[in-house]
Amino acid sequence: GIWDQLLVGQHVVIHGSKGRIKGVIGSKAVHVMKEDERRQLLTYDKMFIDVGAKSADEVKGMGIEVGNFITIDKKLVELVNGLVAGKAFDDRAGCAALIQAIKDVKPKCKVYAVFTIQEEVGLRGATVAGYAVKPTIGIAIDTTIAGDHPNMEPHEAPVKVGGGPVIVAADGRRDSLAGGLIPNPKVKQWIIKTAEEMKIPFQLEVLEGGTTDATAIQLSREGVPSGVIAIPTRYVHTFQEVLSLRDLENLVALLKGLMESELPF
């Protein structure tokens, strides 16, 4: 999900029936808030989108209606040291890596490159794809939480931006890892061995508090041995996520290496 406090003041695009309409998320000015209001966290139900309209009829005439999709209006920004900041790297970065990896690759088996939908609201696309494709092995490509920034303790998120792709050892709920994935050992070791042979730097992680499409794929049909490779990303689920292009390039190389190697089964 998105932390509500990040929303106010953001530029957005409403995808209406008559085209795209720009707006900004507004709220009551802090100057006129009562003392108890100032002490409370600002939640989405106290916000609205201002498109400049003067009436409800004008809004309706613009093609805006209940259920329109709304996206944050942000552009990619280049930082120093090969880092970039932008919206929705979770999981546009995974899509970009997969697109690059399947170019000029010579796989030793049939490869299905699947770009799933609605992972954040129930792994829905992966659930359907797992049944349709009938894979021998499933690999989810996602982002993961990098903690190499102020106000984070190393044990809270040991993964670092620039440290290489992340091979997930387990993920799931924070209290028990329930509802997540414990990767098939042969799949995990296959990924690790490939990275080592190609001299690709990588990191290992137990991710508490989240999961990926691999959780749905592993439960497809009679079960599918699955694993996860992730891109270390700062400020996940904000509108300015940060990652390393070198990590992305190493992920592409690793994916190509896996597709061009013998399966572990």
Query: What is the C-alpha to C-alpha distance for residues 141 and 116, in angstroms, rounded to an integer?
Result: 11
Query: What is the C-alpha to C-alpha distance for residues 79 and 85, in angstroms, rounded to an integer?
Result: 7
Sheet of 203-208, strand order:
138-145, 226-233, 166-172, 203-208
Among 37, 65, 78, 119, which one carries the catalytic annotation?
119
| Residue-by-residue DSSP string for 57-114 | HHHHHTT--TT-EEEE----EE-STTEEEES-HHHHHHHHHHHHHTTT---SS-----
Query: What is the C-alpha to C-alpha distance for residues 172 and 180, in angstroms, rounded to an integer?
Result: 4
Count of all residues that appear for the chain in the document: 265
119 tagged catalytic: yes
**Active-site annotation, residues:** 119
